[in-house]
């Protein structure tokens, strides 16, 4: 079972940066995704995590998951969930 946590502003900025580094873009407009408002990060038992992302620049409500490696989750502070 995955643990959940709300993201701080600093964690949201880091998640946005990781998404850009991974080349993730909005499937509808190609814009940069950001963590979806009012969403939680889900840490997984293996040390990884995922964060629901959404493009806040377009009209679409498309959401997708930014999947983090254990190292990325640890850098975001999600390893202690």
Model confidence, pTM: 0.78
More confident residue, 81 or 55: 55
CA distances from 63 to 46, 54, 73, 79, 80 (A): 24, 5, 20, 23, 25
| Mean pLDDT taken over the chain | 81
Joined tokens for residue 42: 């889900």
pLDDT at 60 over 70: no
Name the H helices within the chain. Answer: 9-21, 70-75
Domain-by-domain residue ranges, the chain? 3-74
């Amino acid at each position: 079972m995955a643990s959940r946590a709300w993201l701080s502003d600093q964690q949201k900025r880091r998640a946005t940066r990781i998404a850009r580094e991974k080349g993730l873009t909005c499937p509808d407009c190609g814009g940069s995704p950001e963590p979806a408002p009012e969403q939680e990060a889900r840490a997984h038992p293996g040390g990884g995590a995922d964060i629901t992302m959404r493009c806040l620049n377009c009209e679409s409500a498309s959401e997708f998951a930014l999947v983090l490696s254990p190292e990325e989750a640890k850098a975001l502070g999600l390893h202690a969930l």
